[in-house]
Structure 1
């Protein structure tokens, strides 16, 4: 489809014009730059002892003809390198590093050497099955891999001005544009794993080439049309799957799993693989804002509502089952078997950011914040070298070891994964954190995340520099200072007021202020001058969270939250079994200082009860005498920090008793 593009909407401030300077987040950004990126480079080169091999660099060397050998890893193994390069691009945008840039340039030369003469680039189909490119989009993720290359190329070019990888990406995108579409001889299809769509929008923004935007629109509009492309493709290859070569299947690919059971504009419920869904919804929102397409935006709103109101965990994670890393159905949110892939929460953040470009509503920023402060950072250990793929609500290490249905739930973070999509995804998100903090529209500067940062932009014809100071997540003071404000003329500051803050007060230059509160944002318009400070004090009192009655897994249970942080119980503080504990209803929630590895964090302490066996139980499995209830001190730690001490049980939702 040819889009009728609109150009006026709130856009993130360019990453090179935003610098993170925050007591909480700067250490994360530094950890990614100094530890995670170098560590992941070693992993990509298979130089991390006792970790699953990546094969990524070696695959490119084989595809480029530099060495001989067989392809290793998954069909989409190339994306591990691409996401690493994207993270490097964002890191270089924040701070130049000649040594890191040199390593990245060498990797880019290797990628370019593996590209085919017609622009095609995928090491699996170059090395393992050169005659079968574009024949199994359902399983093999060729367009998904291409999308991650494009995103890396745009990020790296934006940071360094170097176009080598961008040229590779454009040649590949041109090849895809020639191959896919509704013209004679083209493939009228789309990928099993969405990603190319949002990448093409980025490529359009970087190059101004409308064909890329239109191609993204084609992939979105074509999805779910009947007869199904995935079923046609399945029949054409003899009803087989790449995951079980040579085995004829009785059942065709699930269309709802691939978000292809109906056209995207008709979809109402989040289904299937959670990461794929989020990447597609993000692309839909991208296209909706650029085209002014009301039907596409309406679909985005429906899918957003279903996701966050009926299928999202309290920590901002999504994906209820490990079977297909997928959504299940409304209110089915099990705590001890959920999948909640780190990548899925990153996808949700991307979706939220793009919805904020369509309509500035606090709910989008609230969910973005929830997923960021809880699931994304929980996915990486504080050493930057161990990672969670799955983010459970409850962990019983013995069950993870002994129950096949819980093998996916890990009690400790892993060094690496054979399918290592999450670690580099965390790196690229945290490296681009400034992208999510601010946006600017006509005459309005929006502050979405309360993260210490400095930003420069042009607004209302004025050159402006702003400085955000924030005590989050430990303290509730937030201040937005106009560090620079050339010229004169009114413009508006719009600062998100988090829904978790029950009582929020505002000041302007130290005096009480009453901004207009609209859709979760505080608006204040004036002729801002250098030195002006818009302040906000947030309510940081710990509070109880209760799930809807339809969420059966949490009936009679309570979760704890303070500011943006969700809390959990760990065995290290409370002993085992955690299932024997209950929080007393109405008990005071007290703030206490963390110690040791949790030094600097604020923990929550309260009174509770512990169920214990009667003295005469005799070890019976079942009995008629009830357990005794003894008083117990309960300590909760931020979920994002769990698993950084000795391994043990963990639980977010806790029984509540009088």
Structure 2
């Protein structure tokens, strides 16, 4: 196994022309909005009842459980996002609310440590009887993640101690010993959370418990079938077949034997994240090999150009290699968040640019597409092509929306986006020995220690606009070390200047980074200019749905056509050959974001179509030149409902 790379420990403050607005939205809009939603105070939005469920379980209110079996997890993810915000900027009012929520959770917790409002209120006595479907361990995992983040941010142990009691109780229930359940979670999450609990407490028993849940998965006889028989063959979600479709929950094989991305996309990448975590902590070469196989299958055969994964609505699942229909895409926001988690861990295990490239692709495209520009409306599903006229009529598209929603009955995605963006600083830098790696080009300040040397690094970035980045290096004392700059996969060249002395790089080293090794002194400046051409991206020839089409990409952004700019029937448009692109800003879009305009062709019938003919043998096509306007994919559906398409036919000969 290679030398381990860690996230650069220390403080990151983001001050960026693009991302600061998203951090502000999370702090000032998303987290307060989601708090109102969790308390059922958003008019017209689907009710959550999540906070009220805890109040009822704590004896503070009367009533019964409402919502999905995993409703508790929304509170955990919201609280985790709050913790990350408090870590970068203390806010006494927000912290007071969080402390009240923690008191509520503890009041609802059973004496033995158990905490799940669905079973406490609706099915007491039936705990752990339906692991395949009922998300007990999943909800526990999100509470554990919230607790570790809150402890890291504030130093307060109340919730950490509470979830430690819960984890100890879980360890008393599950295991290979006599009298214990030999099961594991239907929806993976607790495994990666237990690694975080190990980090927070130093207790290795939590790492071992997480490893147990991974290793137990896929063993025979199949646990989900056994528990189904024990409970009288009842199902909670009969339409999903979570019990019998073992691919759905990645329980068809032991995790070390899995080589293809199967089943529910979010579950798969959460599982992969835990596999990478545990491989990292235990130096398990077998787990690392399995991670590499699954990564390769996801990224090179089953991922959309936007970083979306999961191409089928049924089961929110992967299908087959190269089956990536743009209009039927599921591409759940949570799945891309999970892909980012997996990519971050792979950077630590197997440090190479390719992991950060995918992390960036998912972040700049699918993840932020999952929320509106004002932070109050959300996509669960992220298609790459939308025709509103068929929505609500053709059931194949029942999952597709032309406009973002205020909230969801299954509201996992909005708090997942919030917690990722609130912790964005954790994804920007890595460290290995005397090398500091720059993974994401986002403006701000880093305070860290490299090989024992305290270091402050300022980053000034207009990366998404023109590919330019500037660093000011401030080590505590002059010393030799390395700053490694990722050369992103969309750029074939970078001009790097150190204190005014420029060099051109047409490639990085074997790991995809430009390694700058020298004796660094306070005030040294690095200026980077990445070549940022507009690229016509083509899909693999086995992707039948995009064959002969192209998608435009500039920098980290994938672009799309929208009806608001190009009129209806986007499928009639063709991209002309050899034309220049014009860049421009767009009112209402984030600062620095540019649209692309280029000449194109609209194909249409030559002459009038027969009045009574759906089909015609004598029809011929002609084309008229039009100006096409492309916007970054993440910004679509912010100007009303309309058609959208990422892929466009290309004029013959290109």
Structure 1-normalised TM-score? 0.96
1:648 corresponds to which residue? 642
Q: For the residues of structure 2 that align with 1:29 and 1:164, how far apart are their CA atoms? A: 27
Q: SS in structure 1 opposite 2:483?
A: strand
Q: Does 1:215 align with 2:209?
A: yes
Gaps of 5+ in 2: none
**598 and 463 in structure 1: CA distance in 2 versus 1, 3 angstrom threshold:** closer
Aligned pairs (5 A) from 1:302-341: 302-341=293-332
Task: Report if aligned partners of 2:132, 2:243 keep a CA contact under 8 Å in 1.
Answer: no
Select 2:410's aligned residue among 407, 419, 424: 419
2:606 corresponds to which residue? 614
1:190 corresponds to which residue? 184
Task: Report if aligned partners of 1:457, 1:463 keep a CA contact under 8 Å in 2.
Answer: yes
1:598: how far off?
6.6
Q: SS in structure 2 opposite 1:517?
A: coil
Q: Does 1:496 align with 2:486?
A: yes
Q: For the residues of structure 2 that align with 1:533 and 1:497, how far apart are their CA atoms? A: 18
Select 1:605's aligned residue among 588, 597, 601: 597
**363 and 597 in structure 1: CA distance in 2 versus 1, 3 angstrom threshold:** closer
Q: For the residues of structure 1 that align with 2:184 and 2:362, how far apart are their CA atoms? A: 29
Q: For the residues of structure 1 that align with 2:452 and 2:243, how far apart are their CA atoms? A: 57
2:4 corresponds to which residue? 9
Task: Report if aligned partners of 1:488, 1:527 keep a CA contact under 8 Å in 2.
Answer: yes
> Hey, which bits of structure 1, 4+ residues long, moved more than 6 A?
none
Deviates more, 1:539-548 or 1:606-615: 606-615
Deviates more, 1:602-611 or 1:352-361: 602-611
Q: For the residues of structure 1 that align with 2:526 and 2:213, how far apart are their CA atoms? A: 44
1:533 corresponds to which residue? 525
Aligned pairs (5 A) from 1:554-573: 554-573=546-565
**608 and 7 in structure 1: CA distance in 2 versus 1, 3 angstrom threshold:** closer
Q: For the residues of structure 2 that align with 1:28 and 1:556, how far apart are their CA atoms? A: 36
Q: Does 1:296 align with 2:291?
A: no
1:359: how far off?
1.6
2:537 corresponds to which residue? 545
Task: Report if aligned partners of 1:597, 1:644 keep a CA contact under 8 Å in 2.
Answer: no
Select 2:263's aligned residue among 272, 279, 289: 272
Task: Report if aligned partners of 1:597, 1:645 keep a CA contact under 8 Å in 2.
Answer: no
Q: SS in structure 1 opposite 2:472?
A: strand
Q: SS in structure 2 opposite 1:324?
A: helix
1:182: how far off?
0.8
Deviates more, 1:595-604 or 1:26-35: 595-604
Task: Report if aligned partners of 1:460, 1:490 keep a CA contact under 8 Å in 2.
Answer: no
Q: For each residue in 1:95-140, what CA deviation from the matched residue of structure 2 results, as whole angstroms up to 9, or x when unmatched?
A: 0000000111111111111100100000000000011100100000
2:495 corresponds to which residue? 505
**288 and 488 in structure 1: CA distance in 2 versus 1, 3 angstrom threshold:** same
Structure 2-normalised TM-score? 0.97
Q: For each residue in 1:255-310, what CA deviation from the matched residue of structure 2 results, as whole angstroms up to 9, or x when unmatched?
A: 11111111111110000000000000011011111111111101100000000000
Q: For each residue in 1:572-618, what CA deviation from the matched residue of structure 2 results, as whole angstroms up to 9, or x when unmatched?
A: 00000111111123333332332355774211111111122333313
Gaps of 5+ in 1: 1-5
Q: For each residue in 1:190-220, what CA deviation from the matched residue of structure 2 results, as whole angstroms up to 9, or x when unmatched?
A: 1000000000000100110000011111111
2:342 corresponds to which residue? 351
Select 1:52's aligned residue among 39, 46, 69: 46
1:170 corresponds to which residue? 164
Q: For the residues of structure 1 that align with 2:290 and 2:213, how far apart are their CA atoms? A: 16
RMSD: 1.7
Q: SS in structure 1 opposite 2:463?
A: coil
**606 and 598 in structure 1: CA distance in 2 versus 1, 3 angstrom threshold:** farther
1:70 corresponds to which residue? 64
Task: Report if aligned partners of 1:466, 1:480 keep a CA contact under 8 Å in 2.
Answer: yes
Q: For the residues of structure 2 that align with 1:272 and 1:637, how far apart are their CA atoms? A: 32
Task: Report if aligned partners of 1:494, 1:521 keep a CA contact under 8 Å in 2.
Answer: yes
Select 1:361's aligned residue among 330, 335, 352: 352
